[in-house]
Amino acid sequence: MGQKPPPKDRESMTVAALEDEIHRHNRLYFEDNAPVISDEDFDRLVRRLRKIKPDSPILHEIPSDTKTSIKGFKKIRREVPMLSLDKCYSEKELYQWAEKFEGDVMGSPKIDGSAVELRYDEKGHLSLAATRGEGIEGEEITENVKRIADIPQKIPPHPPLPKGGQFPCSYPPFSKGGEGGLEIRGEIYMRLSVFRTFDQDFANPRNLAAGALKQKDPDMTKKYHLSFFGYDVLGVDLQTEGDKKALLERLGIPTVPMEVVQKKEMQKFYEKLLTQRETYDFETDGIVFKAFEIKEQGRLGMTAHHPRYAIAYKFQGDSGTTRVKDVEWSVSRTQVITPVCIVEPVRLSGASVSRASLHNVGLMRQHGLRIGSQVMMVRRGGVIPYLESVIEEGRGAPMTLPEKCPSCGAPTEVRDDFLYCTNKENCFGTRIGVLEHFVKAMEIDGFGRKLLERLYETGLVKDPADFYRLKSEDLLDLERMGETLATKLIGNIRARRRLPADQFLRALGIRELAQHASRLLIQHFHTLDRLMEATEGEIAALHSLGEVIAREVVSGLRAKKGLIARLRRSITLIGQQVSQEKKGPLAGLKVCFTGTLGALSRPAAQKKVEEAGGEAVNTITQDLAYLVIGKQGGGGSKLSKAQALQKKGASLQILDEDRFWGLLKG
């Protein structure tokens, strides 16, 4: 904080100044998890130094994540170092790199996570996991990694090689005498859908995942629901990157979405993944290309810093610097008053951004934010833009906290790092936030914030149960409301009278009760009625929940008992009783409907799926079996997401309504 960024004219910097800056920014990024310049700005420094002093030792510096280690993590040395990737930012640089070898390339999204190695012994048991560290030496995190569901604790001890896998791999086994042993390398990351349950408190998924991975109590790691992608295998004789992918899949290891790409198609592949980026459930800041043939990789070799056979082609425009103009205050459904930073417009991910979340007042104070501060803004993976760091404090007035709620005028109070409105029951902003959360969680389309404000102000909707008492004629007196729109809105409400119990539970807006916890609670207690009778001890005993969530669930359900009773007069909960073994033609399969159905209403269609043993869902996920398009049309964003997943290799089928019902009858 308060440190100035490198001069915009890097041409004027001396070798010593460039080396100092590169070393400092390596430390800030890898050791402190607190970068103050964008990746692109950092790489410009590196390219400038490489041009004027190509033999500078700082170019071969391998930053370490072990210097921030927690006492108790043992150091692990490896024979084959885990190196960084060289980077490029233009089509010209990419094709200059590709001229150095023969054959195709393997292309995949660059996952923004924590690189790790997994060692499996000759019997197939996971014997060790370690961080990347500085390349040669990392830290053992075996017990923590065993809490990550994506990572198998046992693999087949003698898996069959992929067809044609005969070429001697250039990597040796991970230890002497380790015949049959296998080493897998990959990336531990946090899915964006998981991160969104934390994003009021943490800046980005990468930092949160890195911290979760180094919990002293391994059971704490499991609470963060981390994920894993494998991308490399050592200790096996293989011929191509395709062989590696096939072997990883045979071992039950999730793999990075990857495709074989002809050299001449690399730019097209880059542009395709750039357009698909918003559909991914992980952060990606570029594309990794590797020479496809292992023999070509062996011929190219590696430097002390990076392999010559791989390169990261980085996306641009994901971060940028700007200046702070003001701070506005937004009141949430939980009474938290959140600062929103207003900045001079800056382009991120192809869009002009002038607002960014500061998450909480603790971060605002930590940044030392002032009017005129120069800041770095970041937008990753579809997450809303946020302020990453303050580069220059500025000379304007420091930001002060409002003493009164900007929505209702009630006194405010600070608890921990959060600012709260003290008007718990009647704050306008909080009430609108409750209604907004409800319609989003229930997937009731058409009710934006402005409409919700008008409904609340006119007294038509004061709490979520009031939605189900609305009639189309009630809406006609509202500004810009016609009969067609009013009828459609009421239809959207009626379509959500039958829904899964866990979705209903999530829509209640109880603090700490997100998608994972809601589903787990219904799976364990089977019905909402039984859950409402559960004690804090019973809930806390469930793995991955704990005392805090248990306390919030019990107190929240008690406080919302009246609302729940009113809602259940209009809503039917499905899927409360969790069957141990589903039977029927759709047993174990997930089905999602989109668009307007012709043969049946949406609830009736979902009921037929459940009667056939399937699960009717409302979101597009990797494990979806069927997306059914209504014969009246309107596939929308669900269709686009499903098509993107198909292109990445997902096995889901997209069917029209008639074909699906015909398939079910057959």
User: What does the pLDDT read at residue 405?
Assistant: 93
Query: Burial code of 176-189, b = ≥16 C-beta within 10 A, e = fewer?
Result: eebeebbbbbbbbb
Say yes or no: 339 and 434 in one domain: no
Residue 61 has pLDDT above 70, yes or no: no
Q: Are residues 412 and 467 in the same domain?
A: no
Same domain, 629 and 560: no
Query: Are residues 109 and 250 both part of a single domain?
Result: yes
Task: Write the burial class of residue 54 (CB in 10 Å: 0-12 exposed, 13-18 middle, 19+ buried).
Answer: exposed
> Would the pLDDT of 368 be above 70?
yes
Judge contact between 616 and 586, C-beta under 8 A.
Answer: no
Residue 173 has pLDDT above 60, yes or no: no
pLDDT at residue 487, as a whole number? 92
Select the more confidently predicted residue: 579 or 454: 454
Q: How far is CA 129 from the centre of its chain?
A: 23
Catalytic residue flag (residue 92): no
pLDDT of residue 71: 45
The residue segments making up the domain with residue 31 are: 10-60
Question: Is residue 65 included in any domain, yes or no?
Answer: no
**Alpha carbons 211 and 198: distance in angstroms, whole number:** 13
Q: What is the CATH number of the domain that holds 40?
A: 1.10.287
pLDDT at 177: 36
Angle 193-195-201 from CA coordinates, rounded to 5°: 145
Task: Inform me whether the pLDDT recorded for 103 exceeds 90.
Answer: yes
53-57, 76-80, 163-167, 417-421: range with highest mean pLDDT: 417-421
**pLDDT-derived band of residue 406, with 50, 70 and 90 as boundaries?**
very high
Q: Which strand ranges, in their side-by-side order, compose the sheet holding 114-120?
A: 126-131, 114-120, 182-189, 227-234
B/e letters for 206-244, b = 16+ CB within 10 Å, e = fewer, are: bebbbebbbbeeeeebbbbbbbbbbbbbbbbebbbbbbb
pLDDT of residue 28: 72
Provide the pLDDT confidence category of residue 398 given band limits of 50, 70 and 90.
Answer: confident
Task: Name the range with the highest mean pLDDT among 58-62, 154-158, 486-490, 643-647.
Answer: 486-490
Please report the pLDDT score of residue 176 as a whole number: 37
Residues 105 and 164 in one domain: yes
What is the Cα–Cα distance from 164 to 170, expressed in whole angstroms?
A: 16
Do 470 and 481 lie in a common domain? yes
Which pair of structure tokens corresponds to residue 354? 């002038």
Identify the pLDDT of residue 226. Answer: 92
Reported as a single tens digit per residue, the pLDDT across 1-11 is 334 444 445 56
Confirm whether 585 is domain-assigned.
no
Q: How far apart are CA 554 and CA 535, in angstroms?
A: 7
Q: Which residue has the higher pLDDT, 254 or 73?
A: 254
In a domain, residue 69? The reply is: no
How do strand 626-629 and strand 615-617 relate by DSSP bridges?
unpaired
Please identify, among 299, 314, 329, the residue that sits at the C-terminal boundary of a domain.
Answer: 314
Q: Does 349 score more than 70 pLDDT?
A: no
pLDDT at 512: 72
- Residue 538 vs residues 502, 503, 541, 560: alpha-carbon distances, Å: 18, 21, 5, 20
Residue 417 lies in a domain: yes
For residues 258 and 222, state if they share a domain: yes
Q: Are 182 and 155 in contact (CB under 8 A)?
A: yes
Which segments within 90-226 are labelled E, that is strand? 105-111, 114-120, 126-131, 137-139, 182-189
- What pLDDT was estimated at residue 98? 94
DSSP-based helix, strand, coil % in the chain, nearest 5: 35, 20, 40
Domain count, the chain: 6
Beta bridge partners of 628: 593, 655
Cα separation, 627 vs 655, whole angstroms:
6
Q: Same structural domain for residues 270 and 308?
A: yes
323 in any annotated domain = yes
For residue 112, what pLDDT is reported? 84
Does residue 297 surpass a pLDDT of 80?
Answer: yes
Distance from chain centroid for Cα 341:
23
Looking at the fold, whether 490 and 437 belong to one and the same domain comes out as: yes
Length of the chain: 666
The whole-angstrom separation of Cα 170 and Cα 430 is 61
Token pair of 496 as six digits: 């959500």
Confidence of residue 309 (pLDDT cuts 50, 70, 90): very high
CATH number at residue 411: 2.40.50.140
Q: Is residue 5 part of a domain?
A: no
Question: Among residues 60, 83, 99, which one ends one of the domains?
Answer: 60
**Average pLDDT over every residue of 403-410:** 92
Residue 392 lies in a domain: yes
Question: 115-143: per-residue pLDDT in tens?
Answer: 999 999 888 889 999 998 878 888 899 99
Identify the top-confidence range among 200-214, 330-344, 383-397, 401-415: 401-415
pLDDT band, residue 439 (cuts 50/70/90)? very high
Q: Of the ranges 22-31, 376-385, 575-584, which one carries the lowest mean pLDDT score?
A: 575-584
**Given a cut of 60, is residue 170 above it in pLDDT?**
no
Q: Which residue has the higher pLDDT, 64 or 556?
A: 556
pTM to 2 decimals?
Answer: 0.47
Average the pLDDT over each of 422-436, 486-500, 597-611 and give the range with the smallest value: 597-611
The catalytic position among 4, 100, 110, 216 is 110
- 68 pLDDT higher than 70: no
pLDDT at 394 over 60: yes
H or E stretch covering 637: helix 636-647
67 within domain boundaries = no
CATH number of the domain where residue 439 is located: 1.10.150.20
Burial-class residue 367 by CB neighbours within 10 Å (0-12, 13-18, 19+): buried
- Top-confidence residue, 584 or 348: 584
Task: Please report the pLDDT score of residue 5 as a whole number.
Answer: 44
**Tokens at 618, concatenated:** 């409302």
Q: Which of 221, 228, 161 minimizes the C-alpha distance to 188?
A: 228
The pLDDT of residue 1: 37
- How do residues 177-201 score in pLDDT, each as one tens digit? 344 578 999 999 998 888 877 644 5
Residue percentage of the chain with pLDDT more than 90: 26
Note whether 537 and 618 are same-domain residues: no
Range among 298-302, 349-353, 639-643 with highest mean pLDDT value: 298-302
Which CATH number characterizes residue 153's domain?
3.30.470.30
Q: What is the pLDDT of residue 284?
A: 86
Single out the residue in 452, 481, 496 at which a domain terminates. 496
What's 653's domain CATH number?
Answer: 3.40.50.10190
Residue 413: φ, ψ to 5°: -145, 150
Cα separation, 636 vs 644, whole angstroms: 13
In this structure, the answer to whether residues 178 and 302 fall within a common structural domain is yes
> What is the token pair recorded at 637?
């964003």
pLDDT exceeds cutoff 60 at 546: yes
* Rounded Cα distance, 244 and 266, in Å: 21
**pLDDT tens-digit series, residues 13-49:** 888 888 888 878 777 766 555 666 766 677 778 878 8
Confidence of residue 95 (pLDDT cuts 50, 70, 90): very high
Reduced to 3 states (helix: H, G, I; strand: E, B; else coil), residue 346 is: strand
Most confident of 29-38, 110-119, 518-527, 657-666: 110-119
The pLDDT of residue 379 is: 63
Mean pLDDT, residues 634-650: 75
In a shared domain, residues 241 and 136: yes
Mean pLDDT of 270-279: 78
The pLDDT of residue 455 is 94
Report how far residue 616's alpha carbon sits from residue 625's, in angstroms, rounded to the nearest whole number.
Answer: 10
Locate 168 and state its tokens: 């001697």
Distances 606 to 337, 381, 617 between C-alpha atoms, Å: 39, 31, 8
- 381: exposed, middle or buried (Cβ count in 10 Å: 0-12, 13-18, 19+): buried
H helix and E strand count, the chain? 24, 24
Question: Is pLDDT at 442 greater than 80 in this prediction?
Answer: yes
Q: Which residue has the higher pLDDT, 222 or 129?
A: 129
Average confidence score pLDDT of the chain? 81
